[in-house]
């Protein structure tokens, strides 16, 4: 038996967040090279400022500026940083209580070894060279044993407020295809679409499952499917998004291949989006052979065959 296939997959999107007046004020401060805290009803200064008072639950509206120097209250060594962490070399995550604050802030401390970190050490913010109103405006903390003790001061005007941040979110993983999926992708690499038939209920699944979802029977009978099918349902994509390869509006549809009992999702192109309809007969359009790999993207899209629409009864059980 041949080995199963696997491929690296990256899922990523930019998460856009409105900061609101409290965190927005904190981020605006960072842009200006100042650290903003909030004073709670109990008189404690917390950095970053909380949006609501932890005791009274009222909106917090008493803001102060604290120093960019402080004291380490706890730490943890990071010997092998991963992508996206504040530093690309070993560092310490530290809790720092900034001068003028009563609660610690977590951030990175740039030192070469754990021997150079201790609870109680004095540190200072290392500001980013270019500040934009994000937590990354603090590059990290650095040792500052001689730093004088600062205190909380009145918060002056910060200028144009920061109202939003864009946070890219990315997940990298290795996708391991099942033996059945591996057969499917190997067939796709040869220009064929295969499914598997359940020996109990006779339903044909594409791409093949390891077992019939209806009755749990392992699906071992391989069948080659037609490259024509019927649109069972669809949506018109009007919203642009990052990484989009086709200009909206375009249609993403469930196509029930002839001989299959389950529809699969693909693009319907080569006609105006508003002309796509349920029951429309379509056929697979393959990319040039030299571009093929073990990927569903070998099929560029589906296009109308020009046949009369399928009767609703022929696909109504597969919606
Ligand atoms: Zn079955």
pLDDT tens, residue by residue, 142-167: 999 988 888 888 888 899 999 999 88
DSSP conformation letters of 238-288: ----TT--SPSSEEEEEEEETT-SS-EEEEE-SS-GGG--TT-EEEEEEPP
List beta partners, residue 141.
Answer: 109, 125
pLDDT tens, residue by residue, 56-98: 999 999 999 999 999 999 999 999 999 889 999 999 999 999 9
Q: How far is Cα 183 from Cα 126, in angstroms, rounded to an integer?
A: 54
Q: How far is the CA of 255 from the centre of ligand 1 (A)?
A: 20
Burial (0-12, 13-18, 19+ Cβ within 10 Å), 36: buried
Q: How far is the CA of 259 from the centre of ligand 1 (A)?
A: 15
- The kind and range of the H/E element at 33 are none
Averaged pLDDT, 255-282: 96
Q: How far is the CA of 261 from the centre of ligand 1 (A)?
A: 11
Q: How far is the CA of 197 from the centre of ligand 1 (A)?
A: 8
Q: How far is the CA of 222 from the centre of ligand 1 (A)?
A: 14
Q: How far is the CA of 277 from the centre of ligand 1 (A)?
A: 29
Q: What is the pLDDT of residue 2?
A: 65
Q: How far is the CA of 280 from the centre of ligand 1 (A)?
A: 27
Q: Show me where the domains of the chain are located.
A: 20-162, 177-318
Q: How far is Cα 253 from Cα 47, in angstroms, rounded to an integer?
A: 49
Q: How far is the CA of 213 from the centre of ligand 1 (A)?
A: 7
Question: Do residues 231 and 275 lie in contact, with contact meaning Cβ atoms separated by under 8 Å?
Answer: no
Q: What is the pLDDT of residue 244?
A: 82
Q: How far is the CA of 262 from the centre of ligand 1 (A)?
A: 12
Q: What is the pLDDT of residue 242?
A: 73
Q: How far is the CA of 194 from the centre of ligand 1 (A)?
A: 17
Q: How far is the CA of 284 from the centre of ligand 1 (A)?
A: 27
- pLDDT band of residue 318 (cuts 50, 70, 90) is confident
Q: What is the CA radius of gyration of the chain?
A: 29
Q: How far is the CA of 268 from the centre of ligand 1 (A)?
A: 29
Cβ atoms within 10 Å of 281's Cβ, excluding its own:
18
Q: What is the pLDDT of residue 209?
A: 87
Dmax (CA) for the chain in angstroms is 84
Q: How far is the CA of 185 from the centre of ligand 1 (A)?
A: 22
Q: Report the relative pairing of strands 281-286 and 228-237 from DSSP bridges.
A: antiparallel
List beta partners, residue 17.
Answer: 165
Q: How far is the CA of 198 from the centre of ligand 1 (A)?
A: 5
Lowest mean pLDDT among 1-10, 112-121, 123-132, 201-210: 1-10
Q: How far is the CA of 295 from the centre of ligand 1 (A)?
A: 26
Q: How far is the CA of 177 from the centre of ligand 1 (A)?
A: 21
Q: How far is the CA of 104 from the centre of ligand 1 (A)?
A: 58
Q: How much is the mean pLDDT over the chain? A: 94
């Amino acid at each position: 038996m041949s080995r199963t296939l696997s491929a690296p997959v990256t899922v990523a999107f930019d998460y856009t967040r409105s900061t609101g007046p409290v965190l927005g004020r904190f981020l605006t401060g960072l842009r200006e090279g100042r650290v903003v805290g909030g004073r709670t009803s109990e008189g404690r200064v917390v950095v970053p400022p909380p949006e609501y008072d932890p005791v009274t639950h009222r909106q917090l509206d008493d803001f102060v500026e604290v120093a960019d120097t402080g004291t380490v209250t706890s730490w943890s060594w990071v010997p092998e940083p991963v992508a996206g962490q504040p530093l690309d070399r070993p560092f310490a995550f530290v809790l720092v209580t900034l001068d003028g604050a009563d609660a610690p802030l977590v951030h990175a401390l740039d030192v070469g070894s754990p021997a150079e970190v201790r609870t109680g050490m004095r540190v200072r913010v290392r500001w980013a060279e270019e500040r934009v109103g994000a937590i990354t405006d603090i590059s990290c903390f650095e040792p500052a044993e001689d730093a004088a003790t600062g205190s909380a001061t009145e918060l002056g005007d910060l200028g144009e407020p920061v109202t939003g941040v864009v946070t890219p979110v990315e997940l990298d993983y290795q996708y391991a295809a099942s033996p059945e999926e591996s057969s499917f992708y190997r067939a796709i690499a040869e220009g064929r679409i295969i499914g598997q038939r359940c020996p109990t209920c006779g339903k044909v699944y594409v791409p093949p499952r390891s077992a019939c979802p209806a009755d749990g029977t392992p699906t071992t009978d391989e069948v080659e499917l037609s490259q024509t099918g019927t649109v069972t349902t669809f949506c018109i994509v009007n919203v642009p998004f990052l990484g989009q390869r086709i200009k909206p509006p375009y249609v993403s549809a469930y196509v029930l291949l002839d001989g299959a009992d389950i529809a699969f999702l693909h693009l319907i192109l080569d006609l105006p989006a508003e002309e796509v309809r349920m029951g429309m007969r379509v056929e697979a359009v393959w990319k040039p052979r030299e571009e093929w790999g073990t990927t569903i993207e070998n099929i560029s899209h589906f296009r109308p065959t020009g046949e009369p629409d399928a009767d609703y009864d022929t696909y109504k059980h597969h919606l």
